[in-house]
Amino acid sequence: MSEEVIKGKVLKHDTQTRTMHWLHLLAFIILGLTGIGFYWDIAGIANIFGGPANASLVHRWAGVVFTVGPILYILLNFDRFSRFVDTITSFSRDDFAWLKTMGGYVPFIKIEEVPPQEKYNAGQKILGILIIIGCILIIITGFPMWLWCDVVSSAFLAICYNVHFWTAIIMILLVLGHFFLAAIHPKSRVEFASMMLDGYIDAEITAEHNAKWFAELQKTE
């Protein structure tokens, strides 16, 4: 392996992406918290938001933010969105090789070298696809429960409630896993500051974790 030290910084996430991520994260936390409070009837959670009626109101309007935020981002940054979608839906042999080794994150899978990855590794790609599908499902089942609960059939409403609940549970687990890998795991926690603060990450880390993408960045320099 080359011992060359790569100096510099990589702008991994620009301001608009970070703003959208923050907005979506805050909305998601409020929605998850109030939703858990409703489902298991936990008075303590409802009381944080001023009682069940207010918690319900907060849940619905946080849902509006959760919906409008990404829509605005996509419409104003269609090129960034398209690049993101292209990256997360393109799987090469290196991605499958990465998945076989779990990127070196799992302690009992010993590997010599992690296959080179693009801007997002194979795990992040799968997460990205699941989050998009999850968001669509949770949005399209949430609004009928709010706006059309008096007019749609009870069977349709029951489907909405079930899909909404199970999608939310899966999303919460995915986000917890995402948070662990991006903010706590010693191998990858450098990602946290990149998305949550200034958007920059050391070029040396990028060259190691996202070798294919970094090679492209070097070409454009």
Interface with other proteins in residues 122-161 (CB under 8 A): 132, 136, 139-141, 143-144, 147-148, 150-153, 156
Of the ranges 18-26, 35-43, 169-177, 210-218, which one interacts with other proteins (CB under 8 A)? 210-218
What does the block give as tokens for 27? 């909305």
How far is 14 from 194, CA to CA, in rounded Å?
9
How far is Cα 148 from Cα 163, in angstroms, rounded to an integer?
Answer: 16
Q: Is 82 in the site for other proteins (CB under 8 A)?
A: yes
**Scanning residues 11 to 30, which ones bind other proteins (CB under 8 A)?**
11
Contact region for other proteins (CB under 8 A) — 49-57, 71-79, 110-118, 185-193?
71-79
Query: Contact between 217 and other proteins (CB under 8 A)?
Result: yes
Q: Rule CB under 8 A: is residue 93 a binding residue for other proteins?
A: no
Q: Measured from the CB of residue 209, what is the shortest distance to other proteins in angstroms?
A: 14
Q: How many residues does the chain have?
A: 221
For 168, the token pair is 């939310």
- For position 34 contacting other proteins by CB under 8 A, the verdict is no
Q: Which residues of 151-171 are buried (b: 16+ CB within 10 A; e: fewer)?
A: eeeeeebeebbeebeebbeeb
The reply to whether 163 sits near other proteins by the rule CB under 8 A is no
Residue type at position 3: E
Specify the residue, 34 or 206, whose C-beta has the smaller distance to other proteins: 206
- Given candidates 9, 21, 60, 178, which one binds other proteins under the rule CB under 8 A? 9
The distance of closest approach from Cβ of residue 218 to other proteins in the complex, given in angstroms and rounded to an integer, is 7
CB 209 within 8 A of CB 117: yes
Binding mask 173-202 for other proteins (x = CB under 8 A): ---------------------------x--
User: In angstroms, what CA-CA distances link 25 with 59, 97, 109, 111, 123?
Assistant: 14, 31, 32, 33, 19
- Please provide residue 9's backbone torsions phi and psi, each rounded to the nearest 5 degrees: -130, 155
Please, what sign has the CA dihedral across residues 177, 179, 180, 181? positive
List, in sequence order, every residue forming a beta bridge with 202; answer none if it has no partner: 9
Nearest-approach distance from CB 220 to other proteins, in angstroms:
5
Q: Which of 203, 204, 208, 211 is in the footprint of other proteins by CB under 8 A? A: 203
Alpha-carbon span 198 to 182, nearest angstrom? 15
Per CB under 8 A, residues contacting other proteins are: 7-11, 74, 78-79, 81-83, 85-86, 89, 132, 136, 139-141, 143-144, 147-148, 150-153, 156, 200, 203, 206, 214, 216-218, 220-221
